[in-house]
């Protein structure tokens, strides 16, 4: 048993060299308790060992609570980060949807513009054809009137004009 106690003392002494202050304090207290146990008679040794064990377990509860609090704080921080990431992703998805809608609207606008241009071109062509047809008809009518006018002028100049009653035409009397 003395070998085990010496091993434990060596471990405590080696741990004191550690830079962790709370550990050094806890190890010092543990060292004091062990030293006090070594100095007391056998009956007190069990009682003191039990007391030391209880103190050690109580100190472990405090450490456990601080670790749990740190874990909870970390979990809360991770939760906040996750929520922020979810909000950011949602905003990015909404922005992507808006981009898609804008692109669809632009495509629809371009399609309408093309359709409008095609309709304008068709109407312009149709109007040009109607105008040409109208001009041809008008020219034909003018040519016909001109021919009729020329024929009438020839009849008048020749002195013959058709008679509506009788046979043939009458000659105009010359003065």
Residue-wise pLDDT for 5-45, tens only, equals: 666 666 666 655 555 565 566 667 767 766 666 666 554 45
Higher pLDDT, 52 or 8: 52
* Residue spans of beta strands (DSSP E) within the chain: 160-161, 170-171
59 pLDDT above the threshold of 60: yes
Cβ within 8 Å of residue 172, ≥6 positions away: 159, 161
The pLDDT, as a whole number, for residue 163 is 52
1 pLDDT above the threshold of 60: no
Contact yes or no for 159/171 (Cβ under 8 A): yes
Q: How far apart are CA 100 and CA 98, in angstroms?
A: 5
68 pLDDT above the threshold of 90: no
Q: How confident is the model at residue 165 (pLDDT cuts 50, 70, 90)?
A: very low
- What is the longest distance spanned by two Cα atoms in the chain? 181
Q: How far apart are CA 103 and CA 108, in angstroms?
A: 9
The pLDDT, as a whole number, for residue 127 is 95
Contact yes or no for 44/36 (Cβ under 8 A): no
pTM here?
A: 0.38
Which segment of 61-70, 83-92, 96-105 scores lowest on mean pLDDT?
A: 61-70
């Amino acid at each position: 048993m003395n070998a085990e106690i010496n091993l434990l003392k060596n471990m405590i002494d080696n741990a004191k060299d550690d830079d962790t202050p709370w550990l050094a304090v806890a190890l010092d207290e543990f060292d004091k308790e062990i030293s006090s146990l070594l100095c007391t008679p056998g009956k007190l040794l069990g009682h003191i060992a039990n007391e030391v064990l209880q103190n050690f377990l109580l100190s472990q509860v405090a450490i456990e609570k601080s670790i749990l609090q740190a874990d909870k704080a970390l979990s809360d921080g991770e939760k906040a980060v996750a929520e922020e990431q979810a909000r950011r992703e949602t905003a990015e998805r909404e922005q992507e949807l808006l981009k898609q809608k804008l692109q669809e609207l632009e495509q629809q606008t371009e399609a309408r513009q093309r359709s409008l241009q095609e309709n304008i071109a068709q109407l312009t062509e149709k109007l040009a054809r109607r105008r040409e047809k109208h001009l041809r008809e008008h020219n034909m009518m003018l040519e016909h009137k001109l021919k009729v006018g020329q024929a009438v002028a020839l009849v008048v100049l020749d002195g013959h004009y058709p008679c509506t009653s009788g046979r043939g035409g009458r000659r105009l009397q010359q003065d």
